[in-house]
Structure 1
C-alpha cells in the first residue's frame, strides 16, 4: 500500500553497483593477504617453536643441575654444621662413629650418589675418605684434579653466612662437582684456622647424566670439561668461582621444522580452493547488487504525513502495512525511545513491541467505538532499558482491502515502576533484594496451607555467617554491605526458582527449599551453600572470606507452623556453631534440652565468678636434660556445686561465646601471678589466652594491670597463644603481640605443628618459645617419623633462638628421646600431674631444697 506522498530519488543503481564492485575486490585482496600472512606466521611460529624448544631444554638442563647441587648442598650443610660431626671428627677421626655408624659413610653414596666424601684438615690434607661408598686412604688431592685450597678458602668465606662452596673439577678426566663446607660446632664460631672441612664429590658419570636425560628429556646428554664456545646449541656452560668450566650438550628434536614440512603444502592447497570460492561469490554478489539497486530505486520516496500533528503529541505515531511491518515512525519515536528510526522501518511492529498480534487485529476492527481498549505491551528502548507501554491502533482500508494499520504508543513505565517499587519494598530487603521477614512468613504459611507429607516436604535452612564481624571492623560497614550482597548472590545461585531466599537482618539468612525430597538432597544443598559462601570475596584489592553455619528443619515432621519451624531452625543453627562452625545440623528434639542446659550453665558460670568457685591447678615444667623445675602452667578448674570439678573444655567455649572469658581470664592471670610470687624469684608461670581476647582492644592493658596489681616481674609471665589468633586477624594480632612484648612478658605458640602455617608465624611474630603438640610426643615410643618430626621442630626452634617445650610426656622413653634430641623443657603426667596451689608450693620447696643440697655436696 502507499500511505505517504512521493519524494525525490536520491541515488541511482549505477552508484550501488560501483560501490559493491570495489568492496568485493577489496575483499579478494583481504583474503589473499590473510593467506599470505597465515603462511608467514606458520613459518615464523615453527622456527620460533624450535628456538623455544632449545631455550626450554637449556632451562631444564640448568634446573636439573641446580636441583642436584641444591640437594647435595643441603645434605652437606646439614652434616658440616652438625654438632655431632664436629664432636667426632674435629680432634680425632672417630671412624666407628663416621663410617661404621653410617653417620658420614656409605649411605651418602647410596642415597645421594656421592662418589667421594672427604674430611680435609686446615692444610687440605686428607683426614678421612670414602670413595664409591668404601672407606679408603687415597688422598683427595691424588683422586681429584683441581685447586682444592682455593675451594677451601671460599668455604671459609661463606661459612659466616651458613653457606657452602662448590667448584667444577675432574676425576680421572671426568667432570665432577666438588662441594665443601667448614665443620663447625655452631654458627657463632668464627675461628677457622684449626677447623676441618667436609667435602662431597659428585662425578658426572654417564649413568648419572642418563638419569638426568630421562628425567628432563635431554637426549644424549654429555658433559665435557672446559668451555666450548663454538659448540652448537643446545648447550649449557657451568662455571663456578673456583675450578674449570663444564659444558653440557644434548640433541634437539626440531619439531617446528617437521610441522612446517607437513602443513605448509596443505595451507597452499586450501588457499587455491578459497580463491576459486571467492571469485564465484563475487560474481553472485555483483548480480544481487543489480537487483537491489532496482528495488531501491522503487522504494526511495519521500513521505510527509501528519507531521505537525504527530510532533505536537506526547505519544509517538506509527504505521504498518497489512502484515504489520513498520512503514512510518514519527520524530517523537526517536526522542522518547532513543532508538534510530531507520533501524526499525520495514521490520514487524511485534519485534519492536511485545504484544499479542491477534489483539491488534481485533482492536483495529472495532474502529473508533467505545469498546476499543489500549493493548498493554513492552519494548526495549536505548541501552536495553525495558519500557511499559499502551498500544492504540486502527485499520486503514481501501474499500474492503486492508492496507495496513495506524496508531499511537503511550509510555506508562514510570507509573508501572512506581507500583512495582512499592510492592517490592514491602516484600524485600532493601540492601540485598532478598525476601524480607514478611514475605518469608507469607511464603511459609502458603506452602504449609497446601498440605505437606513425606512425599512433599519443605526444608527450612537458617544460615548465620561466620567471621563477618571482623570484616565490618576492619573495612567498615560499606564493605560489610558489599559482602552481604555477594552472599545474597551466592545463595540465589545455589537455589532453584521455586525456592525462597530471605534475609532476616544482620548476617542472618533463611532458605526455604521446596524441591528437596529427602534428607540426602537437603544435605547436598547445605554443602553447596557452604562451599559457595566459602569462596573469597575481593574488597578494595583485599581478599576476605566468610563461612556459614546452617540449621535445618523439615516440615511437616519437625513442625507445622512457621513460628515453630523458624525457632527449631535457630536451635539447630546454634548446634552447628557449637560444633565448630562452617557446618550444618538437622534439628533434633534433644537439642532443646541442650539449649536449656547451656542457658543454665551460663547462669551458673556468672554466679561462679561472683562466688569464687574457680580454682587453679599447676602442672610443673622441667628442663628436659636435668629435670630442674623451671615453672608451671596454670590450668583453670570449676568446682561446680552440683556437677563437681569440671575441666576447662566443659565451660571455656561457653565463656568465649557469652563474653565471660574476659572476666575469667583476668582472674586466672592475677591468681597465677600471685601464686608465682610464692615460688621464688626465677620460676615462671604460663597462662593460656583465648583467641576471643585478641578481638578486643584492651588485652595489653589487662595484662599490664595484672602485673601491676601482683607485682610479678614481666619476664616470669608466659602467655600461650594458639594459631587461631593469627588466622582470624593476622595484622591486628601482630600489633597486639608486639605491644605485649614491650611489657616484657614471654610469648609462646601452643600446640605447635598442628596448624598449616605455623612456620611462617614463627618468622613474623615475636615468639619466645614453642610447645610441641602432644600428638607428636605420644608417638616417640614406637614411631621413627614422630621422632624425625620432633627433631626437626627442635632444630628449627633452636635455629630461631626459641625455647622448645614438649608437653604430654607420659613415659620415661619419651623423656629420654626428648633429652637426646636436645629439647629444652618438658611437662606431662610422667613428670607431674596438675595439682592445686598448696601442693605445688610443697613441690617447689622440695625442689629448691634438693637444689641447695646438690650445690652444697658439689662444694
Structure 2
C-alpha cells in the first residue's frame, strides 16, 4: 500500500512535473511569438515614421516654392500694374527713370534676388534688361531657354484678372522661376497688341536653395531641370502648362530607420536572454513562477506610474491630493514661471491656475484617452504678466481609491499671441492697420443680420482721396504711404470706437458709422472727416495737402446687403468726384441710371473709332484787318448711331477719364493735317490738346509721328493748350512744350484771361500766340471794361511778339472794335461757323476767286 501510495504520489508528482513542463514550454512559445510580433510592429512603425517624414518634407518643399513664387508675383503685379511703369516703359524705355531712378532697377536684385529683369515688346523683343543687378544688352530669348511667346500670351490672358503668369524655364542649365505680366495703366486697358511686358527671372542658385534649406529644414536641397520618376525620395517635381519640369531633391532625416537600428538589436538580445531564462525556468518552474509573478506585478505598477507621468508631462509637472491641494511641483515650474515651488505647496491648485475644477476632476477620471485632452487655463508669472496654458491631468488611484491627481502644465502664451497676430493680419490692412475688405464684409454682414430700422440706420461712407496721385508721382511711393497712414489716423480720430474704418486698397477707404441717426448727423461726420483729411501732411521738408470725396449710402433705406451698399456708395462717390473736390453726395437711384448711361457711352466710344463714327469740322480763322482766311481750327464731332451728332462737351471728359483721349487725339491730329494738305501751302490748322496728354511722356513722339506720316510742314500745325496744363505739373509741361517747339510746330494758349497766372506763363513758356477767351469778346461792343481788358491783352501780346486771336465774334461791331484795337486774327460765328471739310474747301475756293476778281489784283 505504501508502495502504491508512493507510486501514486510519484505519478502525481510526475504528472504535475509533466504538466509544468508543458505549461512552461507553451509559455516559451507565447513569449517567442510576442517578441516576433513586437519586432515586426517596431519595423512597421519605423517605416511608417520615415514615410511620414518624407511626405511632410515634400509638403514643406511645395510651400517653400509657392511662398517664393507668391512673393515675386506680388512684386511683379505692383510694378507691372503701375501707371508710372506704363508711362516710362510701355513705349520708348526711359532707362534713367527705370535704372538710374531705381524704379525698375538694381534693387530688384538686392531685395528680391531677381537674377534677370526684362521689358519685352509686343513681339517679344528685349527693350530693357537687367542681369544680376546690372544693365545688360543680352536678349531675353538668348538668356532664357523657354517658349517666351507662350509665356507672354499667358500673361495677356492673366492681365484681364489682374494676375501674372509664372512658369519654370532654364537659364544656363539651371532651373528658374520666370514671371511675366502686361505693363498697363489700368485693368480696363485691353489693347495688348501695343503693350509691353515685364518679366522677372529668379534662378534657383545654390545660395537661394541653401536659404530655403535652412528655413524649411530641407537638408541638401538641390534643383534640377527635368523629371526623375524613378529617383529616390524625397523629391518634388514642379511643372506648369508652359515651360519645363523642375525637380527638387533633398535628404530625409530617416528617424525611423535610426530608431530601428538602435532598438532592434536590443530586442533580439532581450529575446535571447528571455529564451535562456525560460530554459532555466523549466528547471525551477515552481520557485521561479512565484518570483516572476512578483516581478511582473512590480513591473506593471512601475510601468503604469511611468505611463501616467510620461503621457501627461509636457512642460512642468504637478501633483495634488484628492482635494486638489498641491503636494509636488517640478523644478521646471520655477524656470518657466519665476515663482518659487515651496510657496505653493499645500495651497489649492486653483490659486495658481484659473480653470474649471469640476471639469478637471471629470476629465482626469475618464481614463487614458480623455486624460490626454488638455484643459485651457491661465496664470500670472512673477511679473504679474498673464500666461496662457494647457492643463493635462490624470487621477491616481490605488485599489479604486482616489489618492489624488498628477499632470503637467504647458505654457502656450507665444502660440496664442502668434495666432492673435495672424488673426489680426488676416483682418487688417498691413500699411495703415485699418480693417481690410474681409473684416469689412464680416462687420457689415453681422450688423445687417442684427436687424435695422429707420430709427437706427447704418451709414456707409466711401472715401477716395483727391490730389493723391501727384504726391506719388512727385515724392514717390514711400511718401504716398506716409500720406495714407496719416489719412488713416485722421479717419480713426474723426470716428467713434463703435464705427469701423477700412482701407480697400490704393487711396480708397470705407467708414461704417453705426451711431448716426439722421442724414444731418452723417453730413456733419463727412464735413469733420474732410476737414481733418485736408490738414497739411509733412513729407520731408515739404507740406502736402490732399482732399477727399465721399459717397454715402444708408441701410435699410438704400440696401440690405453689403454688396449693394458698397456698390451704391461707389456710385455716389463717383458723383461727388464728378462735382468737384472735397465734396460728399448721398446715393440716389437716379445716380445708378447715370452710371449705366455713362458706361454705355464708354462702350460706344470704344467702338466709335473702329467704326469711323468721328468726324472733323473746321472753323475758319481770319486776319482781323484784311478779313482773309489764315487757317482753321479742327473741331471733333461724334456721329452717334442712336444719339445723332454729339458735341465734344458730351464725350471729351469721358474720353479723358478712360484714357481713350490719346487714341482720339491721334486720329484728330492725323485727319486735321491730311485735310490741311489740300488747303495750299500757307494756311495753318489748329488742334486742341487735352491736359491728360501732358501727363504722358509720349506726346512729342506722337506729334512727330503725325508730321512724318502726313508730310505737312510743322509750322502749319498750331497746338492749342489750356492753362490747366501748367497748373498740374509746370516743370514737366515746360519740357514737353520745348519738345513740341523743337519739332517746328506753333503753340497757342487757349482761353487766355480765365486763369490765375497767365502773364507769368507767357514769359516762361514758348508760346507763339494767345487766344482771347470769348467771355471778354461778348461784351466788347457794350462795355468799356471789356474793351479795356481786350486792349491790354492785345498790347501785352504784341509786346511779347505773340499773335493775338479773338474767338467768339458774333457781330460786326465786335469785329470792328477788334480791328481798331489792332487784334491780329479773329474767329467766330459772324465770320464762319464750324463746317465740313468739303464745305471749308469750297469757302477757300470762293475766297481765292474773290481775290482774283478784286480790282488791282492780277
Q: Distance in 2 between matches of 1:412 and 1:791?
A: 85
- 1:702 paired residue number: 702
Aligned residue for 1:833, secondary structure, equals: coil
Deviations 1:536-592 (A, max 9, x none): 434343444433332211111000111110111112222233334543222111222
Q: Distance in 2 between matches of 1:378 and 1:658?
A: 61
- 2:740 paired residue number: 740
Pair 1:373 & 2:352 matched? yes
Indicate the larger mover: 448-457 or 836-845.
Answer: 448-457
Mark the CA change 1:415 to 1:579 in structure 2 (over 3 Å): closer, same or farther.
same
- 2:80 paired residue number: none
Tell whether the 8 Å contact from 1:460 to 1:554 is kept in structure 2 after alignment: yes
Mark the CA change 1:589 to 1:421 in structure 2 (over 3 Å): closer, same or farther.
same
Mark the CA change 1:784 to 1:605 in structure 2 (over 3 Å): closer, same or farther.
same
Q: How does 1:830-845 map to 2 (within 5 A)?
A: 830-845=830-845
**Cα drift, residue 372 of structure 1:** 0.5
Tell whether the 8 Å contact from 1:616 to 1:837 is kept in structure 2 after alignment: yes
- 2:665 paired residue number: 665
Q: Tell me, which stretches of 5 or more residues in structure 1 are unaligned?
A: 1-308, 319-363, 382-386, 392-409
Q: Distance in 2 between matches of 1:733 and 1:702?
A: 16
Mark the CA change 1:710 to 1:812 in structure 2 (over 3 Å): closer, same or farther.
same
Tell whether the 8 Å contact from 2:352 to 2:379 is kept in structure 1 after alignment: no
Tell whether the 8 Å contact from 1:428 to 1:434 is kept in structure 2 after alignment: yes
Mark the CA change 1:471 to 1:370 in structure 2 (over 3 Å): closer, same or farther.
same
Tell whether the 8 Å contact from 2:676 to 2:684 is kept in structure 1 after alignment: yes
Aligned residue for 1:789, secondary structure, equals: helix
Q: Distance in 1 between matches of 2:659 and 2:501?
A: 32
Tell whether the 8 Å contact from 1:315 to 1:411 is kept in structure 2 after alignment: no
Q: Distance in 1 between matches of 2:520 and 2:693?
A: 39
- 2:496 paired residue number: 496
**Cα drift, residue 449 of structure 1:** 2.6
Aligned residue for 2:351, secondary structure, equals: coil
Aligned residue for 1:598, secondary structure, equals: helix
Q: Distance in 2 between matches of 1:815 and 1:799?
A: 22
Deviations 1:132-152 (A, max 9, x none): xxxxxxxxxxxxxxxxxxxxx
Mark the CA change 1:601 to 1:760 in structure 2 (over 3 Å): closer, same or farther.
same
Aligned residue for 1:515, secondary structure, equals: coil
Pair 1:517 & 2:496 matched? no
Indicate the larger mover: 571-580 or 422-431.
Answer: 571-580
Tell whether the 8 Å contact from 1:388 to 1:416 is kept in structure 2 after alignment: no
With the length of structure 1 as denominator, give the TM-score of the two structures.
0.52
Aligned residue for 1:453, secondary structure, equals: coil
Pair 1:825 & 2:825 matched? yes
Mark the CA change 1:624 to 1:366 in structure 2 (over 3 Å): closer, same or farther.
farther
**Cα drift, residue 531 of structure 1:** 3.8
Mark the CA change 1:415 to 1:556 in structure 2 (over 3 Å): closer, same or farther.
same
Aligned residue for 1:610, secondary structure, equals: coil
Deviations 1:268-294 (A, max 9, x none): xxxxxxxxxxxxxxxxxxxxxxxxxxx
Q: How does 1:147-546 map to 2 (within 5 A)?
A: 368-373=347-352, 388-389=385-386, 417-546=417-546
**Cα drift, residue 415 of structure 1:** 6.4
Mark the CA change 1:523 to 1:771 in structure 2 (over 3 Å): closer, same or farther.
farther
Aligned residue for 1:530, secondary structure, equals: helix
Q: Distance in 1 between matches of 2:788 and 2:814?
A: 13
- 1:165 paired residue number: none
Tell whether the 8 Å contact from 1:374 to 1:390 is kept in structure 2 after alignment: no
Q: Distance in 2 between matches of 1:778 and 1:555?
A: 50
Q: Distance in 2 between matches of 1:570 and 1:753?
A: 37
Deviations 1:174-217 (A, max 9, x none): xxxxxxxxxxxxxxxxxxxxxxxxxxxxxxxxxxxxxxxxxxxx
- 1:857 paired residue number: 856
Indicate the larger mover: 482-491 or 469-478.
Answer: 469-478
Q: Distance in 2 between matches of 1:378 and 1:650?
A: 71
- 1:653 paired residue number: 653
RMSD: 3.3
**Cα drift, residue 739 of structure 1:** 0.6
Mark the CA change 1:568 to 1:745 in structure 2 (over 3 Å): closer, same or farther.
same
Aligned residue for 1:733, secondary structure, equals: helix
- 1:225 paired residue number: none
Deviations 1:338-357 (A, max 9, x none): xxxxxxxxxxxxxxxxxxxx
Q: Tell me, which stretches of 5 or more residues in structure 2 are unaligned?
A: 1-330, 355-377, 389-409
Q: Distance in 2 between matches of 1:769 and 1:536?
A: 38
Aligned residue for 1:611, secondary structure, equals: coil
Mark the CA change 1:495 to 1:767 in structure 2 (over 3 Å): closer, same or farther.
farther
Mark the CA change 1:317 to 1:821 in structure 2 (over 3 Å): closer, same or farther.
farther
- 1:597 paired residue number: 597
- 2:810 paired residue number: 810
Aligned residue for 1:697, secondary structure, equals: coil
**Cα drift, residue 479 of structure 1:** 2.5
Pair 1:764 & 2:743 matched? no
**Cα drift, residue 606 of structure 1:** 2.1
**Cα drift, residue 456 of structure 1:** 1.3
Mark the CA change 1:813 to 1:509 in structure 2 (over 3 Å): closer, same or farther.
same
**Cα drift, residue 365 of structure 1:** 13
Q: Distance in 1 between matches of 2:558 and 2:774?
A: 43
Q: Distance in 2 between matches of 1:660 and 1:560?
A: 36
Mark the CA change 1:377 to 1:724 in structure 2 (over 3 Å): closer, same or farther.
farther
Aligned length: 483
Deviations 1:422-457 (A, max 9, x none): 232121100111110111112212222333222212
Aligned residue for 2:552, secondary structure, equals: strand
